Amino acid sequence: MPNTESLNVAVVGTGYVGLGTAVMLAYLGHHVTGIDIDERKIEMLRRGELPIYEPGLADLLHASESRLTWTSDYAAAIPEADVIIVCVGTPPLPNGHPNLRYIAEAARSVAQNLNGKFQVIVNKSTVPVGTGDWVTRILEDNAPDYHANRYAVVSNPEFLREGTALHDSLYPDRIVLGSASQEGIERLRQLYRRLLEQDFTPPEGVPRPAGLARPQFVTTSLNSAEMIKYAANAFLALKISFANEIAGLCERVDADIEEVVHGIGHDQRIGHRFLVAGAGWGGSCFAKDTAALISTGAEYDYDMPILQAAVDVNRHQRQLVVSKLQRHLHRLQGKRVAVLGLAFKPNTDDLRDAPAHDCITRLMELGAQVVVHDPVAMEQARREWSHLSYQEASSAYDAVRGADAVILMTEWQEYHDLDWEQAVASMRRRLVIDTRNVLRQLPSDTVLEQIGRRRVQETH
Ligand code: NAD
């Protein structure tokens, strides 16, 4: 084990997880090299620019600059590394199983550059049970002189949320490590010591929450750690789908889902978090991870009806937004609809599996004229959603002007704080569909539709 507390770390993959991890570990005092095969990202990072939007990350990057290096060359980072953390993507294949191609490629490149001393290869990407053992075999097959090399493979699933990645990385509820190697676990205890003991000065803008308990250090087998990540995400997706299912019944029996979840969540066995009704879950993880778990079940001829129902409820929930619009506007052909928010949640530009995509696609199929706004995701959408021909607005007010309806898709604070009096006054028809249940009193002649609530305001 290296004598100094500061370790040399290589982080493979500089996406949402890899970047947050690299910058956080450098802030804690480790020397970190971020490796990515995407040279555009590496060039940007070398210039001190971030390829993604994540609040606070730019400041922490600059504060930790002296301990951060960026490269596309494995040979420049792996031989020196005490710990190698793999954070490459695991996107879904059409059959729901994750595509493990990037994991395999990264493992081969790591293997070819191992130094023969004890190194720990950590997998932070979300991968099906058994992947850690498979990666070990790839290392065995590809390391130049296997017998001279010593290494441990550890699963260390990541639980950060985009939009609050720094907070989640610095103040995690738990650190989960799965491995058969005690030596590997001990090196990671050293890597995370400052986090575990909360022995660091919180960076500006990311304060330590009052009364924070130290993170739990959870050690398990490799397989259990891999399962923990999927089971955690599946449970959170389930909680949202449950709230949405109850919301549908609330609308029918004239109860109010906001009052209901408030009442349920105070039960400490249940809790408020993720018990929220809305346009359905989205983002890079929930759809892919629920699909992966169901697909693993299918491999073992094991049905997962609860999880399947959560997925079905979510699909239905996304259709609900357009049905609500049709209830008021009837034919959508030629109607101008403003969509506020593209990303699946505020404070991120990640568009993967965003409910706004399905909503805009359906609106366009029905002949609506769609105009969109998002505070940070417009450029990303230009790249990733070039198949959708909506109009872009330079501000929320511009989007709303002349619209027959507004759909609030993402609960950005900016939309919450709009001067709604002014905004609805500029509309052709005053109809607001708030898919996040965040708007309160709108001008009295506005129809405000929310999810799982009796009509909040009626047309006069
Ligand atoms: P991402 O797509 O943002 O980033 C992946 C990065 O890996 C890309 O920059 C890509 O260029 C790079 N890459 C691919 N192959 C490579 C290779 N062979 N060598 C070096 N770099 C390579 O993905 P992400 O959102 O950061 O997710 C990464 C993993 O973490 C996934 O398994 C995901 O499920 C999991 N995860 C994501 C989140 C999240 O909120 N995004 C949270 C927890 C866990």
- Using CA atoms, how far apart are residues 61 and 187, in angstroms rounded to an integer? 24
Place of tokens 């199929």: 365
- Using CA atoms, how far apart are residues 338 and 136, in angstroms rounded to an integer? 51
ipTM: 0.99
- Using CA atoms, how far apart are residues 338 and 300, in angstroms rounded to an integer? 46
- Using CA atoms, how far apart are residues 311 and 280, in angstroms rounded to an integer? 10
Number of the ligand 1 atom closest to the C-alpha atom of 88: 7
Regions of the chain short of the pLDDT cut 50:
1-3, 459-460
Nearest to 424 by CA among 441, 455, 403, 410: 403
Question: Per the structure block, which two tokens stand in for 12?
Answer: 């493979």
Is 254 labelled as part of a ligand binding site?
no
- Using CA atoms, how far apart are residues 258 and 238, in angstroms rounded to an integer? 18
Is 335 labelled as part of a ligand binding site?
no
Is 358 labelled as part of a ligand binding site?
no
- Using CA atoms, how far apart are residues 109 and 101, in angstroms rounded to an integer? 12
Q: Which of 12, 14, 16 to mutate to test the pocket of ligand 1 (most atoms within 8 A of CB)?
A: 16
Number of the ligand 1 atom closest to the C-alpha atom of 284: 41
pLDDT value, residue 144: 80
Q: What predicted TM-score, i.e. pTM, was given to this entire model?
A: 0.94
- Using CA atoms, how far apart are residues 119 and 84, in angstroms rounded to an integer? 8
pLDDT value, residue 269: 97
**How do beta strands 83-86 and 68-71 pair?**
unpaired
Is 160 labelled as part of a ligand binding site?
yes
Instruction: Encode pLDDT of 333-384 as tens digits.
Output: 999 999 999 999 999 999 999 999 999 999 999 999 999 999 999 999 999 9
Distance 227 CA to ligand 1 centre (A): 18
CA angle 74–75–81, rounded 5-degree value: 80
Which pairs with CB-CB distance under 8 Å and at least 24 residues apart come from 260-263? 260/452
Residue nearest to atom 3 of ligand 1 (CA): 15
Exactly one of 87, 250, 285, 359 is catalytic; name it.
285
List ligand 1's pocket residues with C-beta within 6 A: 12-18, 35-38, 41, 87-90, 102, 105-106, 125-126, 158, 160, 162, 284-285
Question: Per the structure block, which two tokens stand in for 109?
Answer: 């490149």
Instruction: Encode pLDDT of 96-122 as tens digits.
Output: 999 999 999 999 999 999 998 999 999
pLDDT value, residue 146: 64
Distance 205 CA to ligand 1 centre (A): 25
- Whether residue 264 contacts residue 276, with contact meaning beta carbons closer than 8 Å, is answered with no
- Whether residue 438 contacts residue 346, with contact meaning beta carbons closer than 8 Å, is answered with no
Question: Per the structure block, which two tokens stand in for 37?
Answer: 């095969």
pLDDT value, residue 149: 66
What lies within 8 Å, CB to CB, of 10 at 6+ separation is 32, 33, 35, 77, 78, 80, 81, 83, 84, 85
pLDDT value, residue 1: 44
Task: Based on the residue annotation, tell me whether 285 is a catalytic residue of this protein.
Answer: yes
Nearest to 190 by CA among 17, 18, 4: 4
- Using CA atoms, how far apart are residues 178 and 22, in angstroms rounded to an integer? 20
Residue nearest to atom 9 of ligand 1 (CA): 15
Domains of the chain with CATH codes: 8-220 (3.40.50.720), 256-460 (3.40.50.720)
Q: Is 124 helix (H, G, I), strand (E, B) or coil?
A: coil
pLDDT value, residue 97: 93
Q: Which of 158, 288, 289, 351 to mutate to test the pocket of ligand 1 (most atoms within 8 A of CB)?
A: 158
pLDDT value, residue 184: 97
Give whole-number Cα distances, 434 to 257, 325, 344, 368, 378, in Å.
14, 11, 14, 18, 20
313 C-beta neighbours (distance < 10 Å), count: 21
CA angle 128–129–133, rounded 5-degree value: 110
**How do beta strands 31-35 and 8-12 pair?**
parallel
Is 124 labelled as part of a ligand binding site?
no
